Amino acid sequence: MATPARTQDAKDLLAKLVAFDTTSARSNLDLIAFVRDVLDGHGVASTLVPSDDGKKASLLATIGDGAGGVGLSGHSDCVPVTGQSWTSDPFTLTERDGKLYGRGTCDMKGFIACVLASVPLFKSAPLAEPIHILVSYDEEVGCIGVRPMIARFGQDLPRPRVVIVGEPSGMQVIDGHKCIDVFRTTVTGKEAHSSMPAIGVNAISAASKIVEEIDRMAAEVAKAENDPHYDPPYSTVMVAMVDGGTAPNIVPRNCDVLWQLRGLPGTKAKDVPARLAAFANRTLLPNMRAVAPNAAIDTRTETAVPAFSAGPDSEAVSLAMTLTGANRASGVSYATEAGLFQDAGCAAVVCGPGDIEQAHAADEFVSLAQIDSCLAFLAKLGERMRA
């Protein structure tokens, strides 16, 4: 069990982390500087991997010597609070009824706080293998920040043998998740005066047929797939945003449809963009180009986060199950950085404090019980890693 002192340390650290507004549209440098100062105070050096514009950075720190080791990974960014009704300041940690409220408490500053609170324990005895602390940026907008850090593994940065991604899983062991591919389909028609719609090409009308086709394919995919390891047990395809038109008296020339695929590992639904293009070429574009030869329907990928499947013999899953005492692992529909670590040659697993249902919501919280469970998990990891 976590000691009261370590629990208090984690709470104090979480209060500091929550106070930094690291919404993905903002810089995370102040938070990274704080994390670096905490590590420096324990005699742990760290390396920063800045973004191209220098406004953000990831951090990697290592405790112990040698190759391999276990990485503890968390992202520093959080989602906006705009439009949400909070009962307390989202950037002030507030404790009520055994729960710690604040933006990012669950997703996923609670895990980072637990890791930082465990640094003295990790340093208390020589380690047989190193423990690495990894903090990234812009996970919420496509797992952007972790990629440059991973690209340096095996060069000037160590490559962990195992990476535990501390996304909120209720401290359950997660051995797989779906991909997230986000697409933007741009429809280009021809503007005209609204009194003469026949001489124009209405991009919104064409986009509405695109939306209908996406919905039709979504239903088709749902009927074709059934993997009970996930909830829902099939890949999902969903339209998220539609934006088009200029004014009520103008036939709209442009319309954008933003949509996403959350696909099971290995799903055949990866062909949905190609099938949508075939539908557009066959059904929509001939009539559009009969009026406007330059009419177009183009789809491009906005972000792509790979699916994650640890596999039956995963060293990372075995380690997490030993530390938690679990006898089975589960799959989830939300995405994490685990697939990127796995693709880079690190055995990965997802296990962290908090409930994904609280993430991104107003009055986001992590329970003190989950913080204690995570601290106990990390204490067992430290004991296991001792020389």
How many angstroms separate the CA atoms of 204 and 164, rounded? Answer: 45
Q: In terms of pTM, does the model score above 0.85?
A: yes
Domain count across the chain: 2
Give me the chain's average pLDDT, please. Answer: 97
Contact 283, 209 (CB under 8 A): yes
Whether 159 and 234 share a structural domain: no
Is 295 in the same domain as 199? Answer: yes
Query: 168 and 184 in one domain?
Result: no
CATH number of the CATH domain containing 277: 3.30.70.360
Which residues 6+ apart lie within 8 Å of 129 measured at CB? 64, 66, 68, 69, 70, 161, 385
Domain endpoint, select from 305, 323, 344: 305
Is 156 annotated in the active site?
Answer: no
- Is residue 37 domain-shared with residue 156, that is, in the same domain? yes
pLDDT in tens, 139-153: 999 999 999 999 999
The reply to whether 139 belongs to the active site is yes
Whether residues 322 and 271 share a domain: the answer is: no
Residue 374 main-chain phi, psi, to 5 deg: -65, -40
> Is the pLDDT score of 299 beyond 80?
yes
Active-site residue (options: 9, 107, 139, 337)? 139
**Mean pLDDT computed over 18-43:** 98
Q: Cα–Cα distance between 147 and 167 in angstroms, integer?
A: 17
Q: Please measure the distance between the N-terminal and C-terminal CA atoms of the chain and give it in whole angstroms.
A: 22
- Provide the pLDDT for residue 387: 83
Question: Is residue 2 over pLDDT 80?
Answer: no
Mutual angle of helices 4-19 and 110-117, in 10-degree steps: 130
Q: Cα 231 to the chain's mean position, in Å? A: 17
Q: List pLDDT tens digits, range 108-124.
A: 999 999 999 999 999 99
Domain end among 258, 282, 305: 305
315 and 294 in a single domain? The answer is no
Residue 331 has pLDDT above 70, yes or no: yes
Q: Is residue 129 domain-shared with residue 230, that is, in the same domain?
A: no
pLDDT exceeds 90 at position 134 = yes
Among 283, 305, 327, residue at a domain's last position:
305
> Whole domain around residue 341: which residue ranges?
4-177+307-384
Residue 83 DSSP SS3: coil
pLDDT 10s digits, 344-367: 999 999 999 999 999 999 999 999
* pLDDT at residue number 1: 61
Catalytic pick among 9, 77, 175, 363: 77
184 and 267 co-located in one domain: yes
Verify that 292 and 314 share a domain, yes or no: no
Check whether the bond before 312 is cis (ω within 30° of 0). Answer: no
If asked whether residues 277 and 351 sit together in one domain, one would say no
Instruction: Supply the pLDDT for residue 131.
Output: 98
For residues 301 and 340, state if they share a domain: no
Write down the H helix ranges in the chain: 4-19, 29-41, 110-117, 119-122, 146-151, 203-224, 272-279, 285-291, 315-324, 338-343, 368-384
pLDDT digit string, tens, across residues 250-291: 999 999 999 999 999 999 999 999 999 999 999 999 999 999
Same domain for 69 and 139? yes
Residue 81 in this model has a pLDDT that exceeds 80: yes
The CATH number for 162's domain is 3.40.630.10
SS3 217: helix
What are the pLDDT digits (tens) for 169-179? 999 999 999 99
Q: Could you report the per-residue pLDDT of 199-223, keeping only the tens digit for each?
A: 999 999 999 999 999 999 999 999 9
Closest-CA residue to 217 (of 265, 264, 276, 268):
276
